[in-house]
Amino acid sequence: FHSSGDSLNAEEYAHFVMAQIPGRHPLSVLLVSGGISGVIDEILKYNIRKIDYVELDPEIINIGRQYTDNLKADKLTIHATDARKFIDSSEEQYDAVIVMLPEPLNLQLNRFYTEEFFIAVNNIMADGGSLCFGLPAGDNYINRELAECYRVIAATARRVFLQVIAYPASRTIFVLSDAPLSYEVAGLIAKKNIPT
């Protein structure tokens, strides 16, 4: 699903959510999959205390370490485990949770788009924290199947979070939070003086 060096994808996943978080203190981030993509470098442009990166397949971590520099940050802790188990047992409070998994195409992936998952994530989020994930973009046209997927996931998210925003980008990036969210992400990035 991910490749290294995809700066557009990495920037979208990082900045749509990270720019929304007030810069009150060093931030704690949970990244579910996608660590080899370059998103960690984008997250580190913010005031970061720690990044927990969870990847189910340890071979992806090995490949990332062997062929990229994307997993070498000092503030990064890598966990080769199931993300649902990690979230359910976490005692950390995260300012941002970034889920870089494919869309819900099977039982393994569906469990990351359920009300139960959103509740579990909300339970480990700090006040004002946000959850981010992406779904396929419709390019010029959103067919009925994709529209229904967006509708169901957004409705499910609204059962848990007060704010649900979808940003049309190379993927449709959803940001969920109980804190206010803005569509003016470019302005927020500029205000924080984050280079993209």
What pLDDT digit, counting tens, does each position of 83-105 carry? 999 999 999 999 999 999 999 88
Instruction: Enter the DSSP assignment of 140.
Output: T
- For residue 3, pLDDT beyond 80: no
74: Cα separation from own chain's centroid: 20
Contact 12, 134 (CB under 8 A): yes
Per-residue confidence at 68, pLDDT binned at 50, 70, 90?
confident
Check residue 5 and give its pLDDT. 61
25: Cα separation from own chain's centroid: 20
Check residue 130 and give its pLDDT. 97
Greater model confidence, 68 or 186: 186
- Give the pTM: 0.93
**Is 7 exposed, middle or buried (CB count within 10 Å of its CB: 0-12, 13-18, 19+)?**
middle
Greater model confidence, 70 or 129: 129
Per-residue confidence at 106, pLDDT binned at 50, 70, 90?
confident
Per-residue confidence at 8, pLDDT binned at 50, 70, 90?
confident
Q: Give the span between the Cα atoms of 50 and 166, in whole angstroms.
A: 26
